[in-house]
Amino acid sequence: MSAMPASLRDEFPLLAAEPDLHYLDSAATSQIHRSAMDAVLHHETTSRANVSRGTYRLAEAADLAYERARQTAARFLNAGSPDEIIFTSGATAALNLVAHAFGNTLQAGDRVLISVAEHHSNFVPWQMLRERTGIELAMIPVTASGQLDLALLPELMDSKCRLVAVTHLSNVTGAWTDVATLVEAARKVGAKVLLDGAQAVQHGPQDVRALGVDFYAFSGHKCFAPGGVGVLWGRGEVLAAMPPFLAGGGMIASVSLEATTWAEPPQRFEAGTPPIAQAVGLAAALEWMMGLDWRQVHARESRLCELLIEGLQRIPGLRLLGPEMSAQRAPIVSFDIPGLHPHDICQVLDTHRLALRGGHHCAQPLLAALGVEVCTRASIALYNDEADIHALLDGLTFALRELA
């Protein structure tokens, strides 16, 4: 692993071009790393062609680049095989793929277990599956700090449970999920486990085999790569037992007037032209990430998170959402100031070159459980520094005066 530079801002083109910008919205979209942007440009100007279609030089180069990207994603997740990697348009598409393809193997009375803490992308598809098929949809509640309350697992995990689909890391509270406990309970009843890793991958490579799960989904735009690309990892034997989700070119073994047969995974789940250049850019970002010293990165992110929380706790009336500073919290910090709308706060902060997000963060059931409708969120990434935190705290002081 390479040594951790003092500052990474210059490796991100937008941040390098705008040195006075304090970007604290990486939980929504991270900035793209230069290597990923360069990889997309290089591919589009030297190897632009469709994959799995041609035998000429450009097409073969595109095939090679695309399959190398699959291999890189497999290494990033420590997958058993590159054939377990499915490229999608993002985590939302990956989660919907599972809800349809794996969901089509379920029947009325089977149970899917999700949590109150889910992003809508891992909540609404299961509600829709319930409407289509009559499955049961059960909810893991959250504690007062927004962590999954696993005390009810023995009641929720019985022979009817077929799948547990939960977030790996909350996009609102920064709370990590106790995956080991969930996996142990699921295995006892033969249920599969899906993790929504959209927030987690920004904070380092993941090991799906060590996690013990069956599906893992994430998006490129949240891990320093282009938008429009995501990954669904699925355990090989689980993917092989699933029917396709979308139909079209590339996902078939044969087509006749009478019937169609499917290709093996992953092609079975990649109908049509995939996000080729975006996958190449994603691979470049993942390669760069795998070269970092993540212990140093985590220590730095943790220090900045602690500095921010300490400063926020000095603001009268402000309520922090999420767990206290601990190994159970990632650097995503949401807060509520009664009487002030987050959109107003964020607009005032924008005049101070601060980029934060305000709203329900596509997690309305979680916010309802925490007793708020909306909140303001600051999310820290590896390119942030103490100057960003001090600017935010000063900006909030100004905003409180302006909006009082």
Catalytic machinery residues: 362
The residue type at 200: A
- The answer, yes or no, to whether the previous bond of 275 is cis (omega within 30 of 0) is no
The C-alpha angle 211, 217, 220, rounded to 5 degrees, equals 120
Q: Distance between CA atoms of 395 and 382, rounded to whole angstroms?
A: 21
The Cα-based distances of 67 to 292, 300, 392 in angstroms read 23, 34, 42
The Cα-based distances of 25 to 47, 171, 288, 384, 397 in angstroms read 33, 11, 21, 11, 19
Q: Distance between CA atoms of 209 and 213, rounded to whole angstroms?
A: 7
Give the pairing type, strands 161-167 and 136-140.
Answer: unpaired
Residue 1's Cβ-count burial label (10 Å; 0-12, 13-18, 19+) is exposed
Contact 305, 243 (CB under 8 A): no
Q: Distance between CA atoms of 248 and 270, rounded to whole angstroms?
A: 9
Please give the structure tokens belonging to residue 301.
């992110």
153 pairs with which residues across the strands? none
- Write the CB contacts of 231 (distance below 8 Å, at least 6 apart in sequence): 73, 77, 85, 86, 87, 88, 94, 216, 217, 218, 220, 282
Phi/psi region, residue 208 (left: phi>0; alpha: psi -120 to 50; beta: rest), is alpha
